[in-house]
A and B are shown apart, each in its own frame.
Chain A
């Protein structure tokens, strides 16, 4: 009996050791709800490779993640937007040095009703439409029809990103602020005069075809003379398609040790494959260059 007890105790000890061996490093990731599934897949794959690291991922929104980083409550803040000047100020006051590392790219699509005879717009035209300076489709080669502009609600990160990078001004007050991406797509299935912006992943099926009932517009970048289709994955990979937004991992100062290992894994070919399988896009050369400020790959 005593023998069994000893074996049992030993087994228990060993089991305990397996779950918490000496010297395991814990990494906390907090932030964007959009990215939480992607961050989880990356963390799980990485933990399977390195038993000495344990990574915990929670959501809560980009703002929550950044707030946690400022208060020293997380190692990595995931964010689908850059930090606001006010947040950087707050961080500096706390002695935190937020370092933005781009680890994936998200693409936005502009969608219209399939019967609207407009196939492409320039970034400048999109801005004019959403600022309310162009109010009729005639001005961009369409029929004589008043434009109905659809967008997200003001609490959405996409709303802010689109405003700050495409409009660079405020939206027209005629913007229909829809309650989520699904409602925008639903509205555009019936509204021939409408235009709306949505995450590209939402309007592409597994074979990268546009979902039925809407048309995805080709977008002409400011520096280019031809309009590019986001459906062609190469246009996004090489960074030519203009409506993309970087997804960030913020750390306190340039990452070191296991934190650096994990982030380098995210940027590695294997990590970037996980990014693509999660519906996002790998880094274009531009963002690789951007990361070089802090990272030596």
Chain B
């Protein structure tokens, strides 16, 4: 075999291997979605669509009539995630701006690995902190009888999504061309004006991507919210209400649910709904990001 033939063989083999790797993740994604939809759809043989999507009462293993309304847990998931983003976005973007624009190289080299280390804390440990630290703190600060509520979950999820937000946003801010900033300085802008009016808008698409990734982290987190949010199935009245999110519901109930029952299938329907929700957020984010993309 000539050298060229070997090279040709290796090349085409590598091409096929990488294509398989790329397609594999698509296939897994589709496979999961189809499995969720296929099992979830069987719920609606017994439960009318309106009783699933428009009812706030979820109690599939009820003493009386079982109820399959997802509205309360969808609201709980959105509430906890919204709270987490309200806390994490200013902190995360601020930290990213500081790391890329303000901090000296030495400070950056110490801070960045430490922030990334935050992502390595197991979620069950974060949940434990929610029970023994954040919960009592909230109940003291706000005069509540206990601190197991949506706000507790939001605070913990904010901490958990910070590393994602900071890392991705920092990359985005650093990728803004130096010439943009020099132009701002040349026109008399100071560091603050340059950061807020030039650098941040120029990296908006990357920052939005960072926020969405952080949100994905928050919306799908299970163990932490299961431990810290109080798990009451009612519709949340606010951040001080105990809530049970979609993920927590699936985690709690899938373990003991009798196979092949409506309850079993309804948990897949909840999973499919969660999938569609986070897919929806991703698509919206893509649109927003595309809108803000600067062309150079």
- List A residues at the B interface (Cβ < 8 Å): 61, 63, 145-146, 148, 153-155, 160, 163-164, 167-170, 172-179, 183, 186-187, 190-194
CB of A177 within 8 A of CB of B256, answer no
CB of B253 within 8 A of CB of A146, answer no
What total of chain B residues lie within 8 Å of the partner, measured CB to CB?
Answer: 30
CB of A176 within 8 A of CB of B230, answer yes
CB of A169 within 8 A of CB of B145, answer no
Q: For the complex, what is the distance from the CA of A178 to the CA of B231, rounded to whole Å? A: 7
Tally the A-B contacts, defined by beta carbons under 8 Å: 73
Picked from A155, A168, A169, A175, the residue with its CB within 8 Å of the CB of B255 is: A155
Of chain B, the residue at the smallest CB distance from A176 is B230
Q: For the complex, what is the distance from the CA of A193 to the CA of B233, rounded to whole Å? A: 19
| Shortest distance from the beta carbon of B171 to any chain A beta carbon, whole Å | 37
- List B residues at the A interface (Cβ < 8 Å): 57, 59, 61-64, 72, 131, 135-136, 139, 145-146, 148, 226-227, 230-235, 242, 244, 252-253, 255-258
Of chain B, the residue at the smallest CB distance from A173 is B234
Residues on the B chain within 8 Å of A168, using CB: 63
Given A154-B252, A155-B255, A169-B64: A175 touches B233 (CB 8 Å cut-off): yes
- What are 25 residue pairs bridging A and B, where the CB atoms are less than 8 Å apart in the complex? A61-B256, A63-B258, A153-B252, A160-B61, A168-B63, A169-B64, A170-B59, A170-B64, A172-B234, A173-B233, A173-B235, A174-B232, A174-B242, A175-B233, A176-B230, A176-B232, A177-B230, A177-B231, A177-B233, A179-B231, A183-B227, A186-B131, A187-B146, A190-B136, A194-B145
CB of B63 within 8 A of CB of A164, answer yes
Picked from B139, B226, B233, B258, the residue with its CB within 8 Å of the CB of A190 is: B139
| Shortest distance from the beta carbon of A200 to any chain B beta carbon, whole Å | 23
Of chain A, the residue at the smallest CB distance from B256 is A155
Picked from A63, A169, A179, A191, the residue with its CB within 8 Å of the CB of B146 is: A191
Given A154-B61, A155-B256, A179-B226: A173 touches B232 (CB 8 Å cut-off): yes
Q: For the complex, what is the distance from the CA of A163 to the CA of B64, rounded to whole Å? A: 11
| Shortest distance from the beta carbon of A84 to any chain B beta carbon, whole Å | 10
Residues on the B chain within 8 Å of A153, using CB: 231, 252
CB of A169 within 8 A of CB of B63, answer yes
Of chain A, the residue at the smallest CB distance from B226 is A179
Of chain A, the residue at the smallest CB distance from B65 is A170
Residues on the A chain within 8 Å of B57, using CB: 173
Picked from B226, B232, B252, the residue with its CB within 8 Å of the CB of A155 is: B252
- Extra contacts, 18 of them, besides A170-B59, A170-B64, A177-B232 (Cβ < 8 A), are A63-B258, A148-B145, A148-B146, A153-B231, A154-B253, A155-B255, A160-B61, A163-B63, A164-B63, A169-B64, A170-B63, A173-B232, A176-B148, A177-B233, A190-B135, A192-B145, A193-B146, A194-B146
Q: For the complex, what is the distance from the CA of A175 to the CA of B136, rounded to whole Å? A: 19
Of chain B, the residue at the smallest CB distance from A163 is B63
Q: For the complex, what is the distance from the CA of A175 to the CA of B244, rounded to whole Å? A: 11
Of chain B, the residue at the smallest CB distance from A187 is B146
| Shortest distance from the beta carbon of B175 to any chain A beta carbon, whole Å | 43
Residues on the A chain within 8 Å of B252, using CB: 153-155, 177
Q: For the complex, what is the distance from the CA of A167 to the CA of B62, rounded to whole Å? A: 12
Residues on the B chain within 8 Å of A173, using CB: 57, 72, 232-235
Residues on the A chain within 8 Å of B257, using CB: 155
Most buried by B among A153, A163, A167, A186: A153
Most buried by B among A63, A155, A169: A155
| Shortest distance from the beta carbon of B122 to any chain A beta carbon, whole Å | 15
| Shortest distance from the beta carbon of A277 to any chain B beta carbon, whole Å | 29
CB of A170 within 8 A of CB of B146, answer no
Q: For the complex, what is the distance from the CA of A177 to the CA of B256, rounded to whole Å? A: 15
| Shortest distance from the beta carbon of B63 to any chain A beta carbon, whole Å | 5
| Shortest distance from the beta carbon of A172 to any chain B beta carbon, whole Å | 8
Residues on the B chain within 8 Å of A176, using CB: 146, 148, 230-232, 242
Residues on the A chain within 8 Å of B255, using CB: 155
Residues on the A chain within 8 Å of B235, using CB: 173
Residues on the A chain within 8 Å of B227, using CB: 179, 183
Residues on the A chain within 8 Å of B63, using CB: 163-164, 167-170
Q: For the complex, what is the distance from the CA of A99 to the CA of B137, rounded to whole Å? A: 52
Residues on the A chain within 8 Å of B72, using CB: 173
| Shortest distance from the beta carbon of A114 to any chain B beta carbon, whole Å | 15
Residues on the A chain within 8 Å of B232, using CB: 173-177
Q: For the complex, what is the distance from the CA of A154 to the CA of B63, rounded to whole Å? A: 11
Given A148-B145, A177-B244, A190-B136: A183 touches B131 (CB 8 Å cut-off): yes
| Shortest distance from the beta carbon of B244 to any chain A beta carbon, whole Å | 7
Of chain B, the residue at the smallest CB distance from A87 is B258
CB of B234 within 8 A of CB of A155, answer no
The 6 closest A-B pairs by CB, nearest first: A173-B234, A155-B256, A193-B145, A177-B231, A191-B146, A176-B230
Residues on the A chain within 8 Å of B253, using CB: 154-155
| Shortest distance from the beta carbon of A196 to any chain B beta carbon, whole Å | 11
Most buried by A among B232, B235, B252: B232
Q: For the complex, what is the distance from the CA of A192 to the CA of B145, rounded to whole Å? A: 6
| Shortest distance from the beta carbon of A208 to any chain B beta carbon, whole Å | 28
